[in-house]
Amino acid sequence: MVTRRLRVVLAEDSVVLRDGMVELLGARGCEVVGTAGTEAELLDEVAEQRPDVAVVDVRMPPTHRDEGIRAAVEIRARMPEVGLLVFSQHVEAAWASRLLADGATGVGYLLKERVARTSEFVDALYRVAEGGVALDPEVVTLMMRGVRRTRVDTLTSREREVLELMAQGHSNRSIAALLVVSERAVGKHVAAVFGKFDLRATHTDNRRVKAVLTYLAESGG
């Protein structure tokens, strides 16, 4: 199976880390078409290059607080067709919720320790480029806390487990292996979630993404 070559803009203020990521992505079949060390540079590069995905560090100069994530939110508003994979040293649940607001697709949020795991990082990158959602397990856990909306309350504990793993990008086969159940059983749980969230099949069936976004939106961030 031939995987398309992704065009990537990379925003990271550490030159050493940035160069390392450029080399890593190039070796994995991606083309880094632009790099940025500041929020302004990131916005300019994305506007000029219109990449498949922008990889963005949450904290960038000058304050190293939230410049990167603010730029990501702005990119989402201006150029929703550009995928966004945000990474951070810590979970910023409120900003993750904002990125996922209004049914956003093509969004990922990973902790930096996950970025260091090359295969996970690249898999997430391609998933985001294809309009999927790739969330770090810790982000999912934080955003799930305090969920008390009616549709969510109808889910069984097993259905919630399956949905959390879906949010992390796992396939039915992968979920089955992790939960030590049959793939058929996982399929039934997924179908139950779709039914409870009133997600009907369409010709562009992306119900997995919609189910995850519904769950996260109802967490209230």
Q: Which carries the bigger pLDDT value, residue 180 or residue 70?
A: 180
CA 192 to mean position of chain CA atoms = 23
Q: What is the pLDDT of residue 6?
A: 92
Domain coordinates in residue numbering, the chain: 7-136, 146-217
User: Per CATH, which fold does 146-217 belong to?
Assistant: Arc Repressor Mutant, subunit A (1.10.10)
Q: What is the DSSP string of the chain?
A: -PPP--EEEEE-S-HHHHHHHHHHHHHTT-EEEEEESSHHHHHHHHHHH--SEEEEESS-TTTTSSHHHHHHHHHHHH-TTSEEEEEESS--HHHHHHHTGGG--SEEEEEHHHHTSHHHHHHHHHHHHTT-EEE-HHHHHHHHTT---HHHHTS-HHHHHHHHHHHTT--HHHHHHHHTS-HHHHHHHHHHHHHHTT----TT--HHHHHHHHHHHTTT-
End-to-end CA distance of the chain: give it in Å, rounded. Answer: 38
pLDDT at 40 over 80: yes
Q: For the residues 135-148, what does the mean pLDDT come to?
A: 66
pLDDT tens, position by position, 20-38: 889 989 998 899 999 999 9
Q: What is the pLDDT of residue 50?
A: 95
Given the candidates 3.90.79.10, 3.40.605.10, 3.10.20.30, 3.40.50.2300, the CATH classification of the domain at 7-136 is: 3.40.50.2300
pLDDT tens, position by position, 76-128: 889 989 999 998 877 766 677 777 765 567 888 888 877 777 888 888 899 89
pTM above 0.75, yes or no: no
Q: How far is residue 83's CA from residue 132's CA, in Å, rounded to a whole number?
A: 9
Q: What is the pLDDT of residue 102?
A: 54
Q: What is the pLDDT of residue 48?
A: 96
pLDDT tens, position by position, 152-200: 777 888 998 999 898 888 889 999 999 999 999 999 999 999 988 888 8
CB 216 within 8 A of CB 100: yes
Cα R_g (the chain), whole angstroms: 17
pLDDT at 59 over 70: yes
Q: Which of these ranges, 15-24, 132-141, 189-198, has the smallest mean pLDDT?
A: 132-141
pLDDT band at 214 (very low <50, low <70, confident <90, very high): confident
SS3 56: strand
Q: How far is residue 173's CA from residue 181's CA, in Å, rounded to a whole number?
A: 10
